[in-house]
Amino acid sequence: AGQVQGLPFVAFDMVGAGEGELVLIVEGSSARVAVGDANRPVDAVIIAILDSLRHDGQMMYRKS
């Protein structure tokens, strides 16, 4: 994993991500929909673990 940056961020983990993994999150009403309960008090949900990330054709991250 890289250097810690910014403030801590808390999200409900639906995929069983491990420490140091790069994840995709949804926030707000999308998070409540992802959990399956629009009335649940959830602000952020981890919905995927990324194996790789490309931006403008350049590999930014690849899971080792």
pLDDT digits (tens, 9 = 90+) for 38-55: 788 888 999 999 999 999
Quote the tokens at residue 43: 């602000």
pLDDT at 1 exceeding the cut of 60: no
Distance of CA 34 to the CA centre of its chain: 12
Reduce the DSSP state of residue 28 to 3 states and report it: coil
Confidence bin at 60 (pLDDT 50/70/90):
very high
Contacts 24+ apart (CB under 8 A), 3-9: 9/44
Reduce the DSSP state of residue 50 to 3 states and report it: coil
Name the pTM for this structure: 0.75
Quote the tokens at residue 44: 């952020």
- Which domains does the chain possess? 14-62 (2.40.50.220)
Q: What is the pLDDT of residue 56?
A: 96
